[in-house]
């Protein structure tokens, strides 16, 4: 219990005093060791849902799912305990492995936590090393036969933080690359590239990245610098290949030459950058942004489809459309 907090106050807290966690990462077979809070309907208040020593059951989780509850909350002081639990769920393999959906959810939380920390330190070496380890773990899950897109869509966050966007683009890139028939080794490198694709945004102020209204010409010119800034951060490294560098540099290029930073056309754009271009826009359209609410997946696909063959590679987009439509059908 936080200092100077009474038992009654502790049972009723504000959302801003807590950290949201995904229900999909909670397992009834594991003692998480955390007090869990639930947000009241249309309120900023949270009430104690389960104390740390009171285990969750399968029925509890089923009821939460039935009621549409996808997240609970924990104390900020409990963050390290939760992260340790997540790493155990995400990395345990073999006969002791946890259910795949829980592992995907746990890994997504770990990816966001690690990326946020690395991005804040603005240490390129630390960020690349973390991205490579996380890319490898994500690929292990994405390439499993029993993996389904719904496993992923159930656990992703959709806020507009750069690290959240990068995490989602990484999972999407790996998923799309695997569907396109890339080798597991390439899927891993593409997933890692997705984690790093927006590294250049760390050089751009939050007042521009999170501006609630339309960007003016000067602000948009600054935003358009981020592929070049990211490429410059990564270009000297010998632990990244050309495709990964081009994911950072060319993910805003378009087949008809109307993209940036160079205005490359068609065959001048690396195939991995074409993958990143599709999922980058899809992720942006379907996530919360300061200036608009999320678009549905079907509407986002329809919007992308209008630019098939001009902005986006038609084969890559058709493959991504197939993935999304399968998910919508199920």
Q: Mark whether 201 is an active-site residue.
A: yes
Partners of residue 312 on adjacent β-strands: 308
Q: Of 167, 69, 26, whose CA–CA distance to 110 is shortest? A: 167
Q: Are 171 and 194 in contact (CB under 8 A)?
A: yes
- For tokens 């939760």, the residue is 82
CA nearest to 169, candidates 219, 203, 121, 131: 131
CA distance 269 to 259: 11
In which element (H, E) is residue 72 found? strand 71-75
Pairing of strands 12-14, 18-22: unpaired
- Strand, helix or coil for residue 26: coil
State the DSSP string of 184-241: HHHHHHHHHHHHHTTGGGGGS-HHHHT-SS---HHHHHHHTTHHHHHHHHHTT-SSS-
Q: For residues 172 and 222, is the Cβ–Cβ distance under 8 A?
A: no
Give the residue from 227, 218, 217, 222 showing the smallest Cα distance to 252.
227
Catalytic residue among 201, 233, 274, 321: 201
DSSP three-state, residue 255 = coil
- Count of Cβ atoms closer than 10 Å to residue 221 Cβ: 11
Residues labelled as active-site residues: 201
């Amino acid at each position: 219990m936080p200092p100077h907090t009474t038992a009654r106050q502790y049972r009723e807290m504000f959302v801003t005093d807590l950290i949201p966690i995904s229900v999909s990462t909670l397992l009834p077979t594991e003692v998480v060791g955390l007090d869990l809070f639930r947000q009241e309907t249309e309120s900023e208040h949270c009430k104690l849902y389960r104390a740390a020593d009171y285990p969750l059951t399968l029925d509890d989780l089923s009821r939460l799912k039935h009621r549409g509850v996808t997240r609970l909350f924990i104390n900020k002081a409990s963050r390290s305990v939760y992260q340790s639990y997540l790493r155990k769920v995400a990395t345990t393999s073999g006969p002791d492995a946890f259910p795949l959906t829980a592992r995907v959810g746990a890994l997504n939380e770990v990816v966001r936590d690690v990326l946020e920390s690395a991005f804040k330190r603005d240490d390129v070496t630390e960020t690349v090393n973390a991205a490579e380890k996380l890319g490898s773990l994500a690929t292990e899950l994405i390439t499993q036969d029993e993996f389904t897109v719904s496993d992923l869509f159930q656990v992703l966050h959709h806020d507009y933080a750069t690290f959240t966007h990068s995490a989602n683009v990484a999972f999407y890139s790996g998923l799309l690359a695997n569907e396109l028939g890339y080798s597991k080794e390439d899927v891993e490198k593409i997933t890692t590239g997705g984690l790093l694709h927006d590294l250049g945004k760390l050089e751009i102020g939050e007042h521009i990245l999170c501006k609630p209204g339309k960007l003016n010409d000067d602000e948009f010119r600054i935003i358009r610098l981020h592929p070049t800034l990211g490429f410059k951060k990564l270009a000297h490294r010998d632990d990244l290949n050309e495709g990964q560098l081009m994911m950072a540099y060319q993910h805003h290029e378009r087949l008809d030459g109307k993209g940036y930073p160079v205005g490359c056309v068609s065959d001048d754009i690396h195939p991995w950058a074409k993958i990143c271009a599709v999922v980058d826009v899809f992720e942006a359209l379907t996530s919360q942004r300061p200036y608009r609410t999320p678009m549905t997946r079907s509407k986002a696909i329809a919007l992308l489809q209008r630019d098939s063959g001009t902005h986006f590679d038609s084969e890559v987009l058709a493959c991504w459309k197939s993935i999304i439509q399968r998910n919508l059908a199920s």
